[in-house]
Structure formats: structure tokens, C-alpha cells
């Protein structure tokens, strides 16, 4: 059975992630918030580290219920920085709370994010891992708009890794057994088009309706927003971290 080259041999958790989850289109707001958070948390680290801590993240961040996470206080942040079940990086923890608040400013996180790909998955035809780009026009547009709205840890490479994970793009290589399984059929595309006709997408690459001025943010959020880190993904880059924070991540 042929898998994508990035899947390590002999790692059941990685196999399960690739075989059952990666690249499967999702329109579930909770799951999308989870994957956006985990891809940001992975910046500068290995994805295997994040997979091992995934249940810890779900427990720490209320199973990625954005309404609950948005109510986290400074005390909650300090508590999470002592939790070995997650990556104990202050900027990453604070960004998750901030991003939950930004999610609540959207009518639908799913509609917003899927708007960047026209409501249906973009299907690659890559033969090798080296053919797959680290970022695309769509991920750059997503990153730019997310940052405009006040999200953090949403650089274009992080956004593209998120798009791959959540099925906004199918980047399984063509000879991977999952390529055909997650590629939408003509019937799927027709149903997606019908849904878009019934409920037009809001936001994203198709030209979002924006409020006048910047999105609403608290004074604390605005001060912290200046420290937004673009980060990296499984292929490149590290987040901007102090020496002390990098040392803390070693015990992640």
C-alpha cells in the first residue's frame, strides 16, 4: 500500500492520521479551529510532537469549543503554561485564546475558510513530495485576511498546512492510495455547487464583506497582536521565540 512520502515507517499514530484524516474535507467549525490551532502550535517543531500531545490540547482547550476558549483569562493562560500536555509556549497559548475570540466574530468559520477555495477542494496532481509547494496564492490570501482580522500564528505556510490537513486541498501524491479516496466525485462537486447557490459563501478569496475599520479587538489583544508570529510548517521555518521559550519547548 503506497502512502505519501512524509509518513514515517513504523509510526501507527502517523499512519492513522494520514490514512483516516489528512486531506478529508471538513466543514465542522470545531474541527477547523482545532486544526488551525495545531498547525500554529507545530511551528518550529515536528508534527509527531503535536500528534502525541493532541489529546492534551483537546483537554486543555475545552475540546476546541471556541466560545469556551474565548472566555479564558490570564489566570487560565498561566495555568496552561505549566501543562505538560501541550507545547508550553506563551505566544502560542495566548494566540489560541485570541484566535477563539476572532472566530466568534465570524458568522461561520467554515464558510469563511472555504471561501478561499471557492467552496470545493483544490486537487493537486503531485508525483513526489518535492513537487508540493510550501504555500500558494490561496494560502497567502487566507493568511493576509486572517491577520487583518486579528488572528495570530497564521503565516502562509501554516495556512497551507492547515488547508492540506482539513481537506481544502488534496495534496496526497497521485500514487498514494488515499489520493483517489479523498478526491471529490462529480456528484460531490455538483452538491457543493448547489449548496453554494442556496447559501453564498461569506468572506475569503471571493471578496468578503468587511466592516469599516479593523475588526473589533480589546486593548490587550491589540498590544499582543504586534507580536504575531508567522511561524512555519512541516517543511520550513520557525516561530519567533525567545531563548527562554525555546528552552521551555524542549520539554514538550
The whole-number pLDDT of residue 211 equals 32
The whole-number pLDDT of residue 1 equals 84
Catalytic residue, candidates 14, 17, 57, 126 = 17
For residue 170, the cross-strand partners are 123
Residue whose C-alpha cell reads 502550535 in the numeric block:
41
Catalytic residue list contains 5: no
The contacts of residue 2 (CB under 8 Å, 6+ apart) are 175, 176, 177
Q: Where are the domains of the chain?
A: 13-206+224-239
The whole-number pLDDT of residue 219 equals 41
Residue 131's nearest CA partner among 176, 165, 162, 186 is: 176
The whole-number pLDDT of residue 252 equals 52
Catalytic residue list contains 47: yes
Q: Which DSSP letter does residue 123 get?
A: E
Catalytic residue list contains 39: yes
Catalytic residue, candidates 34, 39, 94, 138 = 39
Phi/psi at 123 (5° precision): -105, 115
The whole-number pLDDT of residue 135 equals 97
Cα separation, 232 vs 246, in Å, equals 15
Q: Which DSSP letter does residue 81 get?
A: T
The whole-number pLDDT of residue 192 equals 55
Catalytic residue, candidates 14, 22, 47, 114 = 47
Pseudo-torsion of CA 37, 140, 172, 237, nearest 10°? -60
pLDDT (tens, 9 = 90+) of the chain, 252 residues, equals: 899 999 998 889 999 999 999 999 999 999 999 999 999 999 999 999 999 999 999 999 999 999 999 999 999 999 999 999 999 999 999 999 999 999 999 999 999 999 999 999 999 999 999 999 999 999 999 999 999 999 999 999 999 999 999 999 999 999 999 999 998 765 555 555 555 545 544 444 333 333 333 443 444 444 444 444 334 334 333 343 444 444 444 445
Span 13-206+224-239 CATH architecture: Orthogonal Bundle (1.10)
Q: The whole model's pTM is what?
A: 0.76
The whole-number pLDDT of residue 75 equals 98
Amino acid at each position: 500500500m503506497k502512502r505519501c512520502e512524509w509518513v514515517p515507517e513504523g509510526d501507527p499514530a502517523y499512519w492513522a492520521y494520514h490514512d483516516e484524516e489528512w486531506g478529508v474535507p471538513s466543514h465542522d467549525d470545531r474541527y477547523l479551529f482545532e486544526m488551525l490551532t495545531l498547525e500554529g502550535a507545530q511551528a518550529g517543531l515536528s508534527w509527531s510532537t503535536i500528534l502525541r500531545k493532541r489529546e492534551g490540547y483537546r483537554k486543555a482547550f475545552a475540546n476546541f469549543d471556541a466560545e469556551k476558549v474565548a472566555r479564558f483569562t490570564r489566570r487560565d493562560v498561566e495555568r496552561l503554561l505549566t501543562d505538560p500536555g501541550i507545547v508550553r509556549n506563551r505566544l502560542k497559548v495566548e494566540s489560541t485564546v485570541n484566535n477563539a475570540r476572532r472566530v466568534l466574530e465570524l458568522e461561520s468559520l467554515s464558510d469563511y475558510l472555504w471561501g478561499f477555495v471557492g467552496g470545493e477542494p483544490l486537487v493537486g496532481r503531485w508525483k513526489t513530495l518535492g513537487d508540493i509547494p510550501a504555500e500558494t496564492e490561496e494560502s497567502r490570501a487566507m493568511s493576509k485576511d486572517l491577520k487583518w482580522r486579528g488572528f495570530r500564528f497564521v503565516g502562509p505556510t501554516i495556512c497551507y498546512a492547515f488547508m492540506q490537513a482539513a481537506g481544502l486541498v488534496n495534496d496526497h501524491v497521485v500514487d498514494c492510495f488515499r489520493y483517489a479516496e479523498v478526491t471529490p466525485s462529480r456528484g460531490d462537486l455538483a452538491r457543493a455547487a448547489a449548496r453554494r447557490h442556496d447559501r453564498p459563501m461569506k468572506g475569503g478569496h471571493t471578496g468578503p464583506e468587511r466592516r469599516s475599520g479593523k475588526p473589533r479587538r480589546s486593548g490587550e489583544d491589540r498590544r499582543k497582536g504586534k507580536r504575531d508570529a508567522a511561524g512555519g510548517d512541516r517543511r520550513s521555518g520557525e516561530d519567533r521565540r525567545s531563548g527562554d521559550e525555546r528552552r521551555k519547548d524542549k520539554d514538550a
